[in-house]
Amino acid sequence: MQHHQTVTIKQIAQELGVSISTVSRALQNNPRIGLRTRERVWELARKLQYSPNPAALVLKKKRTHTIGVILPFLGEEFFSTAVTAIEDVLTGYNVVISQSRDRLDREKSALNTFLSSRVDGVIASLSAETHHYLHFRELENFGIPVVFFDRVPRSVPAHKVRNSVTKAARELVQYLAGKGLERIALLNGPPQLEVSEERQEGYIQAMTGAGLPVLPQYLRSTDLSREDTHTKTKLLLALEPKPQAIVGFNDYVALQAMEVAKQLQIRPNEDVYFASFANLPLMDYIDNPPVASVEQFAYTMGEKAAELLLHLIHHPDETRYHEVLVETQLFVREK
């Protein structure tokens, strides 16, 4: 075994043109090695099916029947609904849930805990601050499968359960443009999230398709905190001429933006239309909800993520990454 280990480290070093000690340190996630180099080392290590710690793999044979779930906020109805589905599928497993609260450091420490308690697998939805995935790669290298849902990694191979967000955003903006609205703003989420990029992509496609200009001042990103959403909404509503419609990253962002509009004596869905993503059940209890919302089927997403994870736990030798697409539906609420 030792021989194979040495050969592989040497192979990685030669292929990337770095020293053996650099590879060794990168595999231990040593911060002295640059992030980009560490990512390249881990990518190649996985490709060559190299595991930095064979003892850990032996330990892995003993199942703990525990699954770790890391997501931004349990208080968000989308995530709590997904967790219900995950628990429904994973009967017989102890499901441990951790909230990143949209912070990378909390996400990392939760994964460390999962790793040291040797969970059988992890289901994750990324924090707003996550811009690299080494902490997840580390779990995979210890033979612990990771399935991402909703907020999945950008342009990185991984197991993903996601919506066709670009198509959904396109339909949503087409609907607003079809009402004769021309100045449509997008109040998007953090740019490092793939789901934000996809919303913007769909928005641009729909605006261009309708022959409407894409103006940079109508595109804003929020870090998803209430304060930042309020600030960015004020910027949008202060524009001359102001937008006729604002598409929010999700229902919460749309509601927080509507709150600001009311404070500024702007009547939501009369003076300015609001639209959103998620279409959460709580919207049925709101007097004046967004006029249109994209249904993202949170329960189905949780269910598919848990089913994929079970499959990976039972097929540990599987090397190919799976991507599951959950279709969305445009839900229009107008009287």
Alpha-helical runs (H) found in the chain: 2-16, 20-27, 35-47, 54-60, 77-89, 104-116, 134-141, 165-178, 194-209, 226-237, 251-263, 298-314
pLDDT at 171: 97
Q: Please choose, from the candidates 153, 126, 235, the residue with its C-alpha nearest in 3D space to the C-alpha of residue 186.
A: 235
In words, the CATH class of domain 66-162+298-325 is: alpha beta
> Number of C-alpha atoms within 13 angstroms, CB side, residue 53?
14
> Number of C-alpha atoms within 13 angstroms, CB side, residue 312?
26
Domain 165-295 of CATH type 3.40.50.720 = no
What are the tens digits of pLDDT across the range 267-289? Answer: 999 999 999 999 888 888 988 99
Joined together, the tokens standing for residue 223 give 């870090």
> At residue 55, does pLDDT exceed 60?
no
Please report which confidence band the pLDDT of residue 117 belongs to, taking 50, 70 and 90 as the band edges. confident
> At residue 11, does pLDDT exceed 50?
yes
Q: Please choose, from the candidates 160, 214, 155, the residue with its C-alpha nearest in 3D space to the C-alpha of residue 184.
A: 214
Residue 309 has φ and ψ, to the nearest 5°, of: -65, -45
What are the tens digits of pLDDT across the range 200-230? Answer: 999 999 999 999 999 999 999 999 999 999 9
Which residue ranges does the chain devote to CATH 1.10.260.40? 9-60
Q: Please choose, from the candidates 213, 198, 203, 217, the residue with its C-alpha nearest in 3D space to the C-alpha of residue 172.
A: 203
Please report which confidence band the pLDDT of residue 21 belongs to, taking 50, 70 and 90 as the band edges. confident
Q: What is the CATH number of domain 9-60?
A: 1.10.260.40
Cα–Cα distance for residue pair 39/77, rounded to 1 Å: 34
> At residue 263, does pLDDT exceed 50?
yes
Exposure letters 269-282 (e unless 16+ CB within 10 A, then b): beebbbbbbbbbee
Q: Please choose, from the candidates 114, 146, 71, the residue with its C-alpha nearest in 3D space to the C-alpha of residue 313.
A: 146
Are the C-beta atoms of residues 184 and 220 closer than 8 Å to each other? no
Which residue ranges does the chain devote to CATH 3.40.50.2300? 66-162+298-325, 165-295
Joined together, the tokens standing for residue 6 give 């040495």
Looking at mean pLDDT, say which of 49-63, 134-148, 218-232, 277-291 comes out highest: 218-232
Q: Please choose, from the candidates 299, 324, 300, 298, the residue with its C-alpha nearest in 3D space to the C-alpha of residue 311.
A: 324
